[in-house]
Copies of this chain bind each other. A is one copy, B any other.
């Protein structure tokens, strides 16, 4: 298992007139979480696209809203890899509010596409080499 945490402050433009973070803005938090999680392992999503020629489209996303998140809160995006990725990679996310309580839970599943052939491929070794140490 691999767990990573990244903090982010909620901006005015991300709230809605209910006074909360808009329900559609969690997807961006998940993006930030997964990109920073893999960056901490030495994996750059930008490099993956530009040098390895692989992109990662999203296949599935799930969001459970437990508590509202408010303007100016410094939230924590916790990103968890529970299993070694194979044909897919599955990120679990927990959004913690400034008080440290779980405000939101999410899952995002992505797959790998060779940008030259436009065909689906398995996890590139560029990724698996760097995360295998976290899984038996």
Chain A residues packing against B (C-beta within 8 Å): 11-13, 15-20, 22-28, 30-32, 35, 44-46, 55, 57-65, 68, 71-72
* Alpha-carbon separation in the docked complex, A46 to B17 (Å): 11
Residues of chain B within 8 A of A19, CB atoms compared: 17
Interchain Cβ contacts under 8 Å between A and B, 20 examples: A11-B32, A12-B17, A12-B18, A12-B22, A12-B31, A12-B45, A13-B24, A17-B20, A17-B71, A22-B27, A23-B27, A23-B57, A24-B25, A24-B28, A24-B31, A27-B27, A57-B65, A58-B65, A60-B63, A61-B61
Interface centre among A17, A27, A60 (most CB of B within 10 A): A17
Copies in the complex: 4
Nearest residue, chain B, Cβ from A107? B62
Chain A residues touching B, majority SS? mixed
* Alpha-carbon separation in the docked complex, A25 to B12 (Å): 12
